[in-house]
Structure 1
Amino acid sequence: MSEEETETAPEKLALDAWHRAHGARMVPFAGYEMPIQYEGIVAEHDWTRAHAGLFDVSHMGQLTLEGPDGDIAAAAEALEALVPGLVSSLKPGRMRYTLLLAEDGGILDDLMVTNTGQHIALVVNGACKWDDIAFLREHLPDDITLTHHEDQALLALQGPEAVDALGELVPAAAELVFMTAGFYDWNGVPLWISRAGYTGEDGFEISVPADHAEKLAAALTEDKRVKPIGLGARDSLRLEAGLPLYGHDLTAEIDPVTAELTFALSKKRREAGGYHGHARISGALSDGAAQKRIGLVLDGRLPAREGSEIFAGDTQVGTVTSGGFSPTLGHPIAMGYVDAAHAEIDTALEVQVRNKRLPARVAKMPFVQHRYFRGS
């Protein structure tokens, strides 16, 4: 039997049949069969920018942490040993982006953490959720209960008309602002809704019991402003938004300072420490990182892909980690790492693409301005 035949077959999402009925092309991703596109990546990308796109992100890991007797404070304090962000200061309904760190300060995953008022909730990346769960169970105290909510689906409704579309079904959720969340009832179905996402657009992520996911997806897409959108457009949207993808732009070899994610290092904890990798991260903050994550704008229409070499003159100074053609901007963009001396905005560089050196320049990220709703 070949190695391919012995590999575990991808799992099916709760919405698998629904995706196929809507014309999705399914591909293996993060251990699941996922919809990569329906009408076409560019059309779906543009629709999300102008209207509202519905993404199935149920491959993500939905976890909760509780201390003894449901003690939220104990769970928050325990998690703070593994992440550089302040968790204990989160009020109920508040969210924070943070990083799960290895003992040496390398990034094991990036994630969202929320105080739900009942427990500490985590949403982790699908490709590494099982590793995250194992790591958390190994490093959290024994009196912290970790629950993996495999019976929950996760849908993301993104775009400028997302708030109006969701407001038709759950009016109170439209009052949320960016990085807040809450429990809601939709015709007797319990929903956990957060105003956040991975496209740079305003939008929501909706955790719904898996056996009600199809009913919710159908209700949302009955609205003419909403169309189902695949992984392809999700990737092009997040690249335009300058958002890193774990396993590509972030890895266990990269620390938060090199990754230009210092905003995720709570100011109070930069000095106090008390989390994995503090010594390494503190050193990089004070001495500067040897490399930095940058954005690149390329001339022409030929996109640079992951692994493309970045040059300054005849010297390779970095590598592309994500790249593609930007439908919104009409030219190729990329993200990668270069030696710190070449990371300044507008630095002229070249990228090796198909045996050609293409002119490029370091650009400020996001490439397309975020449109998160932070309140009036």
Structure 2
Amino acid sequence: MAETQGALKKTPLFDLHTELGGKMVPFAGYEMPVQYPLGVKKEHLHTREKAGLFDVSHMGQVKLTGENAAAALEKLVPVDIIDLPAGKQRYAMFTNEDGGIMDDLMVTNYGDWIYVVVNAACKEQDVAHMQANLDEGVELEVLDDRALVAVQGPAAAAAIARLAPEVSEMVFMDSRQMKIDGVDCFVSRSGYTGEDGFEISIPSADAERLCRLFLDQPEIEAIGLGARDSLRLESGLCLYGHDIDTTTTPLEGSLIWAISKNRRADGERAGGFPGEEKILSQIANKDWARKRIGLLGEGRAPVREGTELFDEAGNKIGVVTSGTYGPTVEKPVAMGYVETAFSALETVVYAEVRGKKLPMTVSRMPFIEQRYYRG
């Protein structure tokens, strides 16, 4: 069912987006800026060269408290949460009983509480899933009075450090609670562009003022969803609901790196998560029928989501799940699923675009060098 304009929610930065000339579109139940007057390509390149400010307030922010909060959350993900050090963040996935991915998420240990960020389209489902499965004594609070923004790019650290010098001490996946211009923020050195940068959770009432301060920094431009998508795709990062979903296991999704070693079959806390039988069997037997791969095209024609993939003999072998023209790579970039036999690097497959079979090469992801700051 199509969302009506009246049913769409607004983030705390809606007025700022419209003032800046943001072109607003429906996205995950919200009115969000797809681009600004600069345009998608220039916004993408500006983020790679300097820094961009992204509104990601549509994401769900959740606080878990209680002595067993980490252990309770660990039962829902194939990831080590119990041993996550205080002040650190980790990528995780909710799995279902069939081993499919219900959502991917970020988890932070703030010492006496756990901070979870989930995808916008899945947040109601995710909150219900956690509430139904958390142990007695673990409290869940939805932080719906906070905005979330990302400042991404090679100049992000220098720009934010003018307002909050302590961010300079942080490395990739560090998280801290700190004041920025007197405002209590949760800051992680992370993001979804492949660049260095920060995700910053801000009380809604202070979000616009703080974002104006960020935009006052000469390096930082406002960036919309269009460039966010091309940036994450060049960086080989999945978009939930497109590149991974409930029909995809972590192994099919090329996310074995995200399954903690101590949760695998021979680990000290092996299994104990939904779908463990299928997931651990796939790891043990290296047996799955399809695999998420990266694809580089030729020419300039983008190969979009839903495009069918064929082998040289004309047999259908897969489908594209995300695709665009990569402004930094200067080639069509895509990711999708192919039968495992066609997933080796340098394999040539053919994408059917408007009746033509365009050659694409299975390529290593990310398509660009990731520039996270590791110290």
Distance 1:369 1:305 in 2: 23
Matches within 5 A, 1:185-334: 185-271=179-265, 272-287=270-285, 288-312=287-311, 313-334=313-334
Calculate percent identity across the aligned residue pairs.
49
Match for residue 132 of structure 1 among 126, 138, 153: 126
Distance 1:142 1:230 in 2: 41
Distance 1:275 1:110 in 2: 14
Distance 2:2 2:241 in 1: 22
Match for residue 164 of structure 1 among 158, 161, 165: 158
- Does the CA contact (< 8 Å) of 1:173 and 1:184 recur in 2? no
- Does the CA contact (< 8 Å) of 2:178 and 2:186 recur in 1? yes
Match for residue 170 of structure 2 among 168, 173, 176: 176
Instruction: Report deviation, 1:222.
Output: 0.6
Distance 1:293 1:6 in 2: 34
SS of the residue 1:35 aligns to:
strand
Instruction: Report deviation, 1:8.
Output: 6.1
Matches within 5 A, 1:354-373: 354-373=354-373
- Does the CA contact (< 8 Å) of 1:54 and 1:155 recur in 2? yes
Distance 2:139 2:46 in 1: 41
SS of the residue 1:54 aligns to:
strand
SS of the residue 1:250 aligns to:
coil
Any unmatched runs of 5+ in structure 2?
A: none
Distance 2:2 2:227 in 1: 28
For each residue in 1:1-29, what CA deviation from the matched residue of structure 2 results, as whole angstroms up to 9, or x when unmatched? xx658786110110101110001000010
SS of the residue 1:325 aligns to:
strand
Match of 1:29 in 2: 27
Distance 1:5 1:349 in 2: 37
For each residue in 1:140-159, what CA deviation from the matched residue of structure 2 results, as whole angstroms up to 9, or x when unmatched? 22432111100000010000
Distance 1:252 1:7 in 2: 28
Q: Which amino acid in 1 is paired with 2:218?
A: K
For each residue in 1:199-239, what CA deviation from the matched residue of structure 2 results, as whole angstroms up to 9, or x when unmatched? 00000000000110011110011111000000000000000
Distance 2:141 2:70 in 1: 15
- Does the CA contact (< 8 Å) of 1:178 and 1:372 recur in 2? yes
The 3 A distance-change label for structure 1 pair 7 and 105 is: farther
Q: Which amino acid in 1 is paired with 2:157?
A: V
Any unmatched runs of 5+ in structure 1?
A: none
TM-score by length of 2: 0.96
Distance 1:309 1:234 in 2: 24
- Does the CA contact (< 8 Å) of 2:320 and 2:336 recur in 1? yes
Distance 1:202 1:180 in 2: 12
For each residue in 1:284-342, what CA deviation from the matched residue of structure 2 results, as whole angstroms up to 9, or x when unmatched? 11222111000001111111111100101211010000000000011101000000000
SS of the residue 1:216 aligns to:
helix
Distance 2:288 2:17 in 1: 44
TM-score by length of 1: 0.96
Match of 1:350 in 2: 350
Q: Which runs of 4+ in 1 moved over 2 A?
A: 3-8
Counting matched residue pairs gives 368
Match of 2:63 in 1: 64
Match of 1:101 in 2: 95
Q: Which amino acid in 1 is paired with 2:18?
A: R
The 3 A distance-change label for structure 1 pair 124 and 340 is: same
Instruction: Report deviation, 1:259.
Output: 0.4
Distance 2:141 2:356 in 1: 50
